[in-house]
């Protein structure tokens, strides 16, 4: 193991000359952090030879004793982008409460419908957010600000921030959204402005690099497990019953893996990271036939990005610039039915796609706490003038990560590591299907 070759430093807008109002929280001295001392190591284990050498580390998140922005003069903006995800309202609520109640920031605006809300010609009037207007938001799924996909003109967005005198912008979104945040910081720097941009990573797929997990993932796979259970009931209630469930995961199969492990009644998990073929003696369809002969039923969980090489999906892209994938769920359903029809074998296949149900549910208790702490630490970082960064959790601790570090590539399931091997043990499926 060698130290990771990347820069983990976090830019700051300038010297922090203002005493934080968080001197005492509930009668206890605030747990202030120091950038140079309070750091979380990138590697959680010693190097193989046991040498005590310098390793990359991240700034630990938390309140700073001295802050950059004067709360009484500070204006904050919040924007949510991309697809819906459990916990968005929890994050918004957490930011508003921390700004108002802990720091005394009175002007917090919510920009509506994603980055469109930062472009004035779309006519989406920002909302003035107060604790009273977000108190019950965490009980509901979705985002009270609305969302949208797609790129917008960076210059126009910065113009809006200038016109509204926004000092801090919290950007809540996934990979594409965070790339947009990085572009915003470049334009802000080019204009010589003192504005902080802090990201809070959101993705059901749990595919943000260098993070333990992203918010909403716990709730999402919890809801996905219910769909898998329904598929199992359907499969066991018919002759040669097959329950086929398509779950989220364009490029990373984490939710499919966790849903299968939690349900413990899945026979096959198909994910983007592991290649498989349908036909042939060692193909998926033949293994499915053998499973039905042996048990009389089977449950299949497939991530949306799996098996793309089997379909002609073309080269079109969506509004966010992501390649449009073929729909593996109906495709797999049709191929399974055709396979058994050719062999004159009865099969009763039930197909379940719970994607929008999973995306739109309110956050569960565990995600609720996680979102609250993410929001807390994002506000602490922004008030200290930190920018071009996001807040996340690494090895169980909340840390600051540079935006440039996480926007290049996605976190994926490693087929050689423990998670995938746990799936193989749980399902009993063959390691290779080709």
- Catalytic residue IDs: 205
Angle between the 365-383 and 217-236 helix axes, to the nearest 10 degrees? Answer: 160
Question: What is the C-alpha separation between 30 and 67, in angstroms, rounded?
Answer: 13
Bridging pattern class, strands 297-303 and 107-111: unpaired
Are the C-beta atoms of residues 214 and 199 closer than 8 Å to each other? no
Count the alpha carbons within 13 Å of 297 in the hemisphere toward its beta carbon: 16
Query: Which single residue is written with the structure tokens 């207007």?
Result: 133
Angle between the 418-427 and 254-263 helix axes, to the nearest 10 degrees? Answer: 40
Are the C-beta atoms of residues 179 and 146 closer than 8 Å to each other? no
Question: What is the C-alpha separation between 355 and 83, in angstroms, rounded?
Answer: 11
Question: What is the C-alpha separation between 287 and 278, in angstroms, rounded?
Answer: 9
Q: Is 202 helix (H, G, I), strand (E, B) or coil?
A: strand
Token pair in block for residue 380 = 């602490």
Question: What is the C-alpha separation between 241 and 231, in angstroms, rounded?
Answer: 9
Token pair in block for residue 318 = 């969506």
Bridging pattern class, strands 107-111 and 127-128: antiparallel
Question: What element of type H or E holds 302?
Answer: strand 297-303
Bridging pattern class, strands 24-25 and 297-303: unpaired
Element counts in the chain: helices (H) and strands (E): 12, 17
Question: What is the C-alpha separation between 378 and 433, in angstroms, rounded?
Answer: 44
Are the C-beta atoms of residues 149 and 83 closer than 8 Å to each other? yes
Token pair in block for residue 196 = 């902080």
Q: Is 157 helix (H, G, I), strand (E, B) or coil?
A: helix
Token pair in block for residue 368 = 């609720």
Question: What is the C-alpha separation between 191 and 55, in angstroms, rounded?
Answer: 35
Question: What is the C-alpha separation between 60 and 309, in angstroms, rounded?
Answer: 42
């Amino acid at each position: 193991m060698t130290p990771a070759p990347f820069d983990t430093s976090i830019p700051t807008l300038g010297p922090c000359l203002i005493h934080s109002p968080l001197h005492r929280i509930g009668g206890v001295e605030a747990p202030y952090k120091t950038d140079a001392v309070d750091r979380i190591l990138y590697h959680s284990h010693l190097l193989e030879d046991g040498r005590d050498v310098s390793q990359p580390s991240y700034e630990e998140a938390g309140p700073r004793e001295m802050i950059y922005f004067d709360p009484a003069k500070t204006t904050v903006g919040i924007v949510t982008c991309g697809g819906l995800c459990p916990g968005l309202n929890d994050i918004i609520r957490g930011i508003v409460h921390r700004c108002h109640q802990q720091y005394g920031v009175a002007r917090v605006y919510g920009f509506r419908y994603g980055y469109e809300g930062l472009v004035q010609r779309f006519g989406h009037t920002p909302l003035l957010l107060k604790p009273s207007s977000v108190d019950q938001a965490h009980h509901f799924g979705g985002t009270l600000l609305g969302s949208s996909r797609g790129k917008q003109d960076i210059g126009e967005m910065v113009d809006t921030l200038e016109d509204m005198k926004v000092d801090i912008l919290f950007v809540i979104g996934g990979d594409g959204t965070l790339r947009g945040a990085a572009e915003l910081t470049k334009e802000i720097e080019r204009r010589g402005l003192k504005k902080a941009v802090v990201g809070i990573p959101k993705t059901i797929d749990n595919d943000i690099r260098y993070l333990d997990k992203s918010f909403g993932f716990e709730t999402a796979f919890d809801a996905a497990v219910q769909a898998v259970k329904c598929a199992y009931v359907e499969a066991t209630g018919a002759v040669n019953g097959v329950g086929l469930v398509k779950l989220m995961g364009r490029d990373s199969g984490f939710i499919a893996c966790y849903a299968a492990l939690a349900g413990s009644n899945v026979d096959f998990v198909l994910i983007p990271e592991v290649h498989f073929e349908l036909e042939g003696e060692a193909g998926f369809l033949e293994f499915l036939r053998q499973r039905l002969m042996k048990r009389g039923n089977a449950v299949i969980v497939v991530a949306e990005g799996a098996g793309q090489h089997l379909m002609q999906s073309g080269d079109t892209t969506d509004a966010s610039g992501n390649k449009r994938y073929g729909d593996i769920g109906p495709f797999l359903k049709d191929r399974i039915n055709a396979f058994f029809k050719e062999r004159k074998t009865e099969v009763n296949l039930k197909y379940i796609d719970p994607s929008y149900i999973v995306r739109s549910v309110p956050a569960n208790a565990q995600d609720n706490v996680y979102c609250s702490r993410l929001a807390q630490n994002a506000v602490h970082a922004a008030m200290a003038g930190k920018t071009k960064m996001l807040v996340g959790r690494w090895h169980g601790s909340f840390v600051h990560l540079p935006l440039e570090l996480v926007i290049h590539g996605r976190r994926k399931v490693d087929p050689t590591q423990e998670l995938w091997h746990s799936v193989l043990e749980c399902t009993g499926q063959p390691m290779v299907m080709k």
